[in-house]
Structure 1
Amino acid sequence: MINKLYFHHVSFMFFRIFFFNMTGSLKENRRLIIEDISNGLEKFPISLIYDDIKEFEELQNIFHKYVVNCVTVPGADSSSYYDGCDCKDDCKSEDCGCKSIHGFFYISRGLNPIFLQSNSIASNISIYECNSNCSCSPDKCPNRLVQHGVSLPLQIFKSDSGCGWGVRSHTRRIRKGEFVCEYAGEIIKTDEAKHRWIMAKEINEDNYILCLREHVKDRVLRTNIDPIHIGNIGRFINHSCDPNLQIFLTRINSLIPTAALFAKKDIGVNEELSFDYAGGVNDNSDIQEININVERKKCLCGSQYCKGFLPFDLSL
């Protein structure tokens, strides 16, 4: 089970941009647009739209590497997930080994809406997709979804909420249950996460470490994802106390989970995407336990359910 999900000590005013080939498509038509900051790494383009060339020049000076999936750093456990099914019908039958052991969560190439009823992160769900050891077709198997990456054209833009950069679908609506993207970055150990948090605080720099906790019997499994140096489109998605996306932990070829973001509801064209950095857990009960020297960041989501402050991981 997952206990809590924290996205700690965030400031939205950090210049959140990835380094990309500056000779790529850049055009001006009232607003300035970079057509694909992933440089073709994603199946669908990730565009960036902005107004001020000076703002763009500032972003140029920050180097970040775009990756499609999480990467592990030295010292992090990258144990492979080895079992797989031997289906010859692309896992259409109910006796698929992966389905019978782990369950089946997808319908019509999206998440079954029954799993989207909870307001919090699905604490008792871990999705296991068919993997490289399965005999089913990577393209036709219905139990392969997150591993195919971003599922629609997305755009980075300056949010009107005052939260800096945000993400939206600018060409079509997103249907409930549809996979949007994962939250990709470096997988780091907890000691390294603490070290990076301290270093960022000392130089007044923001960090974006996502801490996932799973309770398995008497053990707590923790996964730390840091996209500050290496990351994907997921790191641009802002927090909301009433989000339209929800995280599900998904395992594909590794015991390390992927933080997969699915649509909690139908999302309109140009509606800003968001997820709850606390996974739906009301962490305001922890405010009194936080050392007074720890500065809480004000939440700007504007929701009627706003908790006032951004979630904060007390263990860092």
Structure 2
Amino acid sequence: MFFSDSLSPDLILSQLPGCDCVGVCVDPRRCACLSRSGEVNYHGESAVLRQSTMAPPHRPVYECNSCCSCNPDCCPNRLVQHHMEDVGAIRRVEAGCKGLGACAARPIGCGEFVCVYRGVYISPDEASGICASQAEAVGHVYVLVVREYAGEAGEMVFETVVDGAGDGLDALPLSSLINHSCDPNLTVIPVRVDSLLPVLALFARRGIWEGEEVCYDYGEGRGSGLSGKRCLCGSVMCRGFLPRHE
């Protein structure tokens, strides 16, 4: 992953404390990383998330990191960090009136890790200008905004923004081709490893058959209003317009 110059070096270089487990991490009462997560994150050694992926807010996911004493080769709490470049579960597809998209390259199980949203981390202050530039240039926005909330009042405590077209509109990563749906089969989970800046990982909300288009809700968990751009997801739950980038 890459970072905009506008991001604070202190944030980029922040280091989460590690655990002192020996071997593998399976007990939230003993593992500091699992304790921060609230429970075990994944089912055994599989790529399946334990928490429900059906509706936000999702609980935070903290994987073990470079400061941990557990075995990095076999600890089951290191799923996403070992698959940062892995897009084998999806492939590029022509998505009709939506243009390009991505579909499942194989059957994907409910809760299964699919891919990381790749791009350049930018500051929230940069987001609106970049969104406007992309919308004007190509009629689409590749900026993913994820806000995390805490407490009974639902106060926003962290905002992560990744520009999926940060390397240029002619070099889009496969994750940037994933379209919006008002009834999506993917969800975005912030996963923290070493830094306070989370990896934005996409997991399956339900079982997905091979060849089915994969989509997530561009406004999930953000309380976004609607833009003036028509939504083409075709779902019976379609809201009519795409979420507004704000």
TM bin, normalised by shorter chain, reads 0.7 to 0.9
Q: How many residues align?
A: 231
Secondary structure in 1 aligned to 2:243? Answer: coil
Give the letter for the 2:6 counterpart.
G
1:185 to 115, 119, 125: 119
Residue 234 of structure 1: CA displacement?
1.3
Deviations 1:285-310 (A, max 9, x none): x45xxxxxxx6111111100000001
Deviations 1:200-225 (A, max 9, x none): 45556533111111234555422211
* Contiguous gaps of at least 5 residues in structure 2: none
Secondary structure in 2 aligned to 1:259? Answer: strand
Partner of 1:52: none
2: CA distance between counterparts of 1:232 and 1:204? 16
Secondary structure in 2 aligned to 1:107? Answer: coil
Partner of 2:64: 130
> Highest relative contact order (Cα 8 Å, sep 6+), 1 or 2?
1
Give the letter for the 1:135 counterpart.
S
2: CA distance between counterparts of 1:277 and 1:189? 18
Partner of 1:42: none
Partner of 2:166: 229
Instruction: Please say if residues 177 and 263 of structure 1, whose CA atoms lie closer than 8 Å, have aligned partners that are also in contact.
Output: yes
1: CA distance between counterparts of 2:109 and 2:208? 6
2: CA distance between counterparts of 1:110 and 1:178? 5
1: CA distance between counterparts of 2:142 and 2:32? 37
Q: TM-score, normalised by structure 2?
A: 0.84
Percent identity over paired residues: 37
Partner of 1:107: 43
Is residue 87 of structure 1 aligned with residue 27 of structure 2?
no
Secondary structure in 1 aligned to 2:133? Answer: helix
Secondary structure in 2 aligned to 1:213? Answer: strand
* Contiguous gaps of at least 5 residues in structure 1: 1-69, 288-294
Deviations 1:176-216 (A, max 9, x none): 11100011211111222222234345556533111111234
Whichever of the two has the greater Rg, that structure is 1
Partner of 2:187: 246
Q: TM-score, normalised by structure 1?
A: 0.66
Instruction: Please say if residues 134 and 142 of structure 2, whose CA atoms lie closer than 8 Å, have aligned partners that are also in contact.
Output: no
Is residue 152 of structure 1 aligned with residue 52 of structure 2?
no
Instruction: Please say if residues 41 and 51 of structure 2, whose CA atoms lie closer than 8 Å, have aligned partners that are also in contact.
Output: no
Partner of 1:271: 212
Instruction: Please say if residues 151 and 179 of structure 1, whose CA atoms lie closer than 8 Å, have aligned partners that are also in contact.
Output: no
